[in-house]
Structure 1
Amino acid sequence: MLARFAERIAARLPAAAIVTDRDAIAPWETDWRRRYHGHAELLLAPATVDEVQAIVATARAEGVALVPQGGNTSMVGGATPPADGSAAILSLRRLNAIRSIDAEAGLAVAEAGVILATLHAAAAAHGRRFPLSLGAKGSATIGGLVSTNAGGTQVLRFGTMRGLVAGIEAVLPDGSRHDGLAALKKDNRGYDLTQLLIGAEGTLGIVTAATLRLVPAVAGRTVAWAGVASPDAAMTLLRRFQRTTPALESFELLPAESLDAVLAYLPDARAPLASAHPWHVLIEVTDDDAPDGAAAVVERVLGAAIADGLAGDATIAASETQAEAFWRIRESISDAERATGPAAQHDIAVPVEAMPRFMIEAAAACEARFPGTRASGFGHLGDGNVHFHVRAAPGTDPADWYARQVPVVSAFVHDLVVAAGGTISAEHGIGQMKRDELERLAPPARLAALRAIRAAFDPGELMNPGKLVTLAPPGNPQ
């Protein structure tokens, strides 16, 4: 089928859109974490929406599966092709035009292959900004961010990708085009296809462009770093900031071991504070809504926190260079921890007020249940999102860890999350890493609804097969 599909599609696409060279395809067969390895004999790189439609329609006619891919930064194996070589990779990277920016309306129309950092720069040139950022901003693409409902470090103020998308253009599994880019304030025509496609991980269609909400560029920002004794103290500090200013954009919490890992990983990194602290918070406040200016607000709140013992020490970035250095520490945690050895990583969320207790109690429970391991969490305190990692005991064989031990560790962690009223996926999606756990833990009604939606759009499971949810075999009551 794949050979026949390749022959048919070659007659419909320019040569630049068809890649069969093994060396060119190989980098896109492995996920970012190098946990999942697939195989593809064919990579298709369309440059227009018409070419995407031709690919999808032909693939459906031939029964060939497609794996959509942007920057290949998935943390859950969501863009990795199956290992049997049965699917073609559909790369959206050449679909990389910013079609328009309307500064007055606060809207940008960006194609799926636009890199997030490129959109940031383009919006800034118009006096606007797109208020979503993450460590992979230099490679993550708009299509991937939409398809995974990405979060990032500014969710506290602006929400996830779902709240920043005003419209979507997509090619549906039958090859038809959904033209939903119009930024309508009201549209009451039944099911919202835009919202269905956000977070669908490419299983309901191929996002080709999105209308995105922009906000005014900030006049300035103040970035600070504080040391605290516990997540509970950090939560109290967060509430003080929230009562003081609506311009609090980020409030990141990380333990000392995460900071130490980054300092060991980045040769030029320096600890923001001279003294050691069990926990650290990274704070950003912008000038746009701070009545006295962001710097004054941050100085006042942190000064009071130190005076009454809530914070042990704090510093305010004296320049943009120092502010970026603080953020580089936060954004390098995943890379640094990956370099320290094998670990079971979990992107989970619990109710915001439960997050401090969960971070302490879950770590203790994991270390007791799996002797020799080290467990800790870092993340976005204000939205309950914890990146919770359980690191293997020293000397553990990585292959054995990932094959035999990680499934047991992750099941244990996910049971703790569900018991706390949380979710096993906060911002990274389900992909293939968490598909079986979703099957195990999701309420039956939710699973049935997910399967019914996928079956209606993609009955042959040709769109990103093996990801998010699979259709139940005939006769399976689920």
Structure 2
Amino acid sequence: MSNPSSPAIPLERLHAILGPKGLITDADAIAPWLTDWRGRFHGQSPAILAPATTREVAAVVALAQEQAIPLVPQGGNTSMVGGATPPANGRALILSLRRMNAIRSLSAEHNRAVCEAGVILSTLHEAAEAAGRRFPLSLGAKGSATIGGLVSTNAGGTQVLRHGTMRGLVEGLEAVLPNGEVYEGLEPLKKDNRGYDIRHLLIGAEGTLGVVTAATLRLVPALTRTATAWVGVERPHDALALLRLLERRFGQTIEGFEVIAGDCLGHVLSHIPGTRSPIGTPSPWHVLIEFDLSEAADGAQGEQRILSALSEFLESGRGLDATLAQNEAQAQSFWRLRESISEAERAQGPALQFDISVPVEAMPDYMVETAKAAQARFPGTTASSFGHLGDGNVHFHVRAPKGTADGPAWIARQGKEISRFVHDAVEAAGGSISAEHGIGQMKRAELGRLASPARLWAMRAIKQAFDPRGIMNPEKLIPLASEG
């Protein structure tokens, strides 16, 4: 595991700080944490540091600063862009936050929870539910993703339309800065004008400016009654028209609004056992909508209003078919279709997957026109998308030609050119090459190619000011000067 160019690792001093449970040097125990979740990036590290308290994190970071030892913060290792994988040179130590997994407090009265960085998202969901509350952010990796990682990547999900990204759900933050000092900002202040907002610098920084150790998170009342609808449409433009209609009628009760290309649904129906389309009419595009009727005086009346709006939409000629889930099991079956897309796409064959965003009004054109253009530019490929229409987040996939056996080889040959093509289209639409997964190491060069000089200057200046020795999560997020 060691590298001849690696700095000497002060194992005795680290052992004194962390104890026997907090210092892992066994190669077999380290190995599972050296590869990213998608299996695209592989690194090396001589040790995993696993502190149990913020004080231990601070001591470790101070020692790393003194010795110029790079650290790679890691939670559940669910990064989609290689953001928590150590570099291949073997110089960095993995700083695991998984032992810091306490929910320090949870108040139903104040709609607030204070969680350490290693708390798994599903654990928070369960604790909030037991208190009659919920944490309104969910994603496919909820069984392994940790709060620290979600904060550090400003994670999103299917409920951003109503509740915002992680940035909007974090009311306070505790973190260890690169000099070993603890930023104590857990207080949930509504107003605080003491200059730069350190909390918002750390959210989405992917561990390059410090180590998130705990967060104060906003909770909301539990859902007591929901309505889930599935609508077939001819084009995503019709889906946007439906969104605007429902926003006028129902406002903030719309919890989620997902749009899915017909071939994406087809892959789910082909590869995921026990799935079936909610509607009988074959449709080029599909819409999944979740309504929160918890505060409705008469839930049945709320459902009737939804059915009336959907009927009006169908009668306008912009909808092909629609249905409303009749019970919780059926609603869950609708959501299972949406949540199984990634699994089905993997079964379908190798693909390049893009997490991008464009202005909401530009999303329908982007989904249709970029897919056509990609297929024309790269013969044999197929392209389609699904995503959170309400917040402009598109998951855009370009699949390898049918029969491609060696996916990694195809990606190595075509990946860079296809990525440039897709990202150029995003830039032309006024969008972002990363909507909710971050930059990590996978998109760093593309950020350097496409970001404005002002953005790159500011990012590099902030990084240099916070971390002049470059010990925090090296080779992530910040483009090299040659990439700008």
TM-score (norm 2): 0.95
Amino acid in structure 2 at the alignment position of 1:370: F
Task: Please state if 1:254 is matched with 2:260.
Answer: yes
In the other structure, the counterpart of 1:81 is 86
What does residue 242 of structure 1 align with? 247
Task: Indicate the larger mover: 279-288 or 26-35.
Answer: 26-35
Name the CA distance, whole Å, in 1 between partners of 2:264 and 2:297: 34
Aligned counterparts of 2:360 and 2:10: Cα–Cα separation in 1: 49
323, 326, 338: which one pairs with 2:346? 338
After the TM superposition, which residues 220-239 of structure 1 pair with which residues of structure 2 at under 5 Å, given as runs? 220-239=225-244
Q: C-alpha distance in 1, partners of 2:314/2:10?
A: 66
1:371 counterpart = 2:379: yes
Contact 2:18 2:50 in 1 (8 A): no
* Cα deviation code 1:440-471 (max 9, x no counterpart): 00000000000000001111221111110046
Q: Is the 8 A contact 2:254 2:292 kept in 1?
A: yes
TM (norm. structure 1) is: 0.96
- What is the aligned partner in structure 1 of residue 317 from structure 2? 309
The residue matched to 1:430 in structure 2 has which SS? coil
Structure 2 CA distance, aligned partners of 1:37 and 1:463? 18
Range 92-101 or range 32-41, more displaced: 32-41
Return closer, same or farther for 1:282/1:86 CA change in 2, 3 Å cut-off.
Answer: same
Distance 2:123 2:335 in 1: 19
- The residue number in structure 1 matching 2:402 is 394
Preserved CA contact (<8 Å) 2:186 2:215 = yes
**1:291, CA displacement in angstroms?**
6.4
- Offset at residue 6 of structure 1 (A): 2.6
The range that moved more, 145-154 or 339-348, is 339-348
Provide the rounded CA distance (Å) in 2 between the counterparts of 1:418 and 1:357.
14
In structure 2, the CA distance between the partners of 1:407 and 1:471, relative to structure 1 (3 Å rule), is closer
Tell me the residue number matched to 1:352: 360
Query: Which region of structure 1 is more displaced relative to structure 2, 450-459 or 399-408?
Result: 399-408
**Fraction of identical pairs, as percent:** 63
CA contact (8 A) 1:5 1:59 kept: no
| Equivalent-residue separation in structure 1 for 2:297 and 2:337 (angstroms) | 29
> Is the 1:150–1:160 contact (alpha carbons within 8 Å) kept by the matching residues of 2?
yes
Equivalent of residue 106 in structure 1, options 86, 111, 118: 111
Q: Deviations over 1:306-348 (max 9, x none)?
A: 2333221122222222222221221121222122222111111
Residue 320 (structure 1) aligns with: 328
Matches within 5 A, 1:135-154: 135-154=140-159
Q: How much does 1:152 deviate? A: 0.4
CA displacement, residues 383-438 of structure 1 (integer Å, 9 cap, x when unaligned): 11101111111233323222231111000111111011111111111111110000
* CA offsets 1:157-192 (integer angstroms, 9 cap, x no match): 111111111010001111110000000111111000
Partner in structure 2 of residue 418 of structure 1: 427
Task: Find the aligned partners of 2:70 and 2:10 in 1 and give their Cα distance.
Answer: 10
Provide the residue aligned with 2:179 in structure 1: 174
Q: Contact conserved, 2:137 with 2:156, CA < 8 A, in 1?
A: yes
Give, in whole Å, the separation in 1 of the partners of 2:204 and 2:247. 29
Q: Aligned partners of 1:459, 1:172: CA distance in 2, in Å?
A: 12
Task: Tell me which amino acid in the other structure corresponds to 2:89.
Answer: D
Deviation at 1:219, TM superposition (A): 2.0
Which residue does 2:388 correspond to in 1?
Answer: 380
| Count of aligned pairs | 475
| Letter of the structure 2 residue corresponding to residue 311 of structure 1 | G
Per the TM alignment, residue 253 of structure 1 is displaced from its structure 2 partner at its CA by 0.4
Quickly say closer, same or farther: Cα 1:241–1:291, change in 2 above 3 A: farther
SS of 1:16 mapped into structure 2: coil
Residue of structure 1 equivalent to 2:56:
51
Question: Who is 1:451 aligned against?
Answer: 460
The match for 2:3 is none
Q: Which amino acid aligns with 1:140?
A: A
Pairwise mapping of residues 112-131 of structure 1 onto structure 2 (< 5 A)? 112-131=117-136
State the one-letter code of the partner of 1:265: H
Q: CA deviation at 1:372?
A: 0.6
1:407 aligns with 2:416: yes
What code does the residue aligned with 1:22 have? A
Distance 2:297 2:384 in 1: 37
- The one of 264, 271, 274 equivalent to 1:265 is 271
Q: CA deviation at 1:55?
A: 1.4
1:4 and 1:94 mapped to 2: Cα distance? 22
Secondary structure at the counterpart of residue 21 of structure 2: helix
Aligned CA-pair RMSD: 1.6
Paired letter, 1:393: P
* Alpha-carbon shift at residue 154 of structure 1 (Å): 0.5
The answer to whether structure 1 residue 279 and structure 2 residue 285 are counterparts is: yes
Q: Is the 8 A contact 1:148 1:427 kept in 2?
A: yes
The CA deviation at 1:21 is 2.0
